[in-house]
Amino acid sequence: MTHRGLPPIIPEPTEHSLGLVEGGGTMGETRKRAAILAVASRLFAEKGYANTPTSEIAREAGVAEGTLYHHFGSKDGIFLAIYNETVDGYIAGVENLIGHGKNGRDSMLGLIRHHFDYLQAHEPQFLTMLRDFPERVGRRKTSSATARRKKLGRLNELMTAIVERGAADGSLRLRFPARDTAEMLRGILYGTTRHRMLGIIDVPLARLAEMLADFCRHALAPPAAQGKELQGGKNH
């Protein structure tokens, strides 16, 4: 899956491997944009944002540097596009979990699976965001920072809805308000992701997903379920 604590070394994309070559041998604007983002994600993860010039991104994406500026305006614009598209895709996956599964517990476990599956599919983007986001966007009082807060607010709403569903149908036992519980869950996911991506812990993503799902399943289990698990343990 990955090298320890570091983003995977992704083969350098080509126009053909990215499906960017059209009939006449030239790329459409949408595909040029996708090529720039794919290459920039890889280079930012491998070399760091500050060490990646736009000229290198353009060269490896097979476009003119002017095309890069046409689509994104600046290198910061590329970074923001990576952030927005990655986070929007993540949130869309969480939205699909609302109402799915037989109860709130199933939705919560689906959320954990979604988190780590999405992380595995977008490791370069996540590493770039974790490492460079505070400097590029997080400390700026701009429309981008406002949009970020809205995205995080939407994510909190969705996670709270999942927890509330579990509390309502009895599949989860909450010792604290649903919103606080959801924010704690988001914090655990974020903290685990950050430690894994920055090499602080060395555990495969699939194993982390399994461990976290098991922890949440037990921590939020209703009394009846806890009793059955304890009884089952005694019988072994």
- 41 assigned to some structural domain: no
Q: Residue 232 to residues 6, 219, 227, 236: CA-CA distances in angstroms?
A: 40, 17, 8, 7
Range with top average pLDDT, 22-36, 117-131, 218-232: 117-131
Output the average pLDDT for the chain.
83
pLDDT band at 130 (very low <50, low <70, confident <90, very high): confident
Q: Which residue has the higher pLDDT, 235 or 60?
A: 60
- 22 assigned to some structural domain: no
Residues 6+ apart with CB under 8 A from 89: 118, 122
Q: Report which secondary-structure segment, H or E, holds 129.
A: helix 123-133
- 85 assigned to some structural domain: yes
- 58 assigned to some structural domain: no
- Report d(CA 121, CA 111) in Å as an integer: 15
- pLDDT beyond 50 at 180: yes
Which range of residues forms the domain containing residue 147?
Answer: 75-221
Count of the separate structural domains present in the chain: 1
- 153 assigned to some structural domain: yes
- 190 assigned to some structural domain: yes
Note the pLDDT of residue 71.
95
Strand, coil or helix: 3: strand
Q: Residue holding tokens 């009939």?
A: 23
Q: Which CATH number covers residue 151? A: 1.10.357.10
Note the pLDDT of residue 17.
42
pTM listed for this prediction = 0.79
Side chain identity at 116, as an amino acid letter? F
- Report d(CA 199, CA 145) in Å as an integer: 27
- 55 assigned to some structural domain: no
Q: Which residue has the higher pLDDT, 134 or 98?
A: 98
Listed residue (171, 162, 186) closest to 107, CA to CA? 162
- 216 assigned to some structural domain: yes
- Summarised one tens digit per residue, pLDDT across range 42-59 is 999 999 999 999 999 999
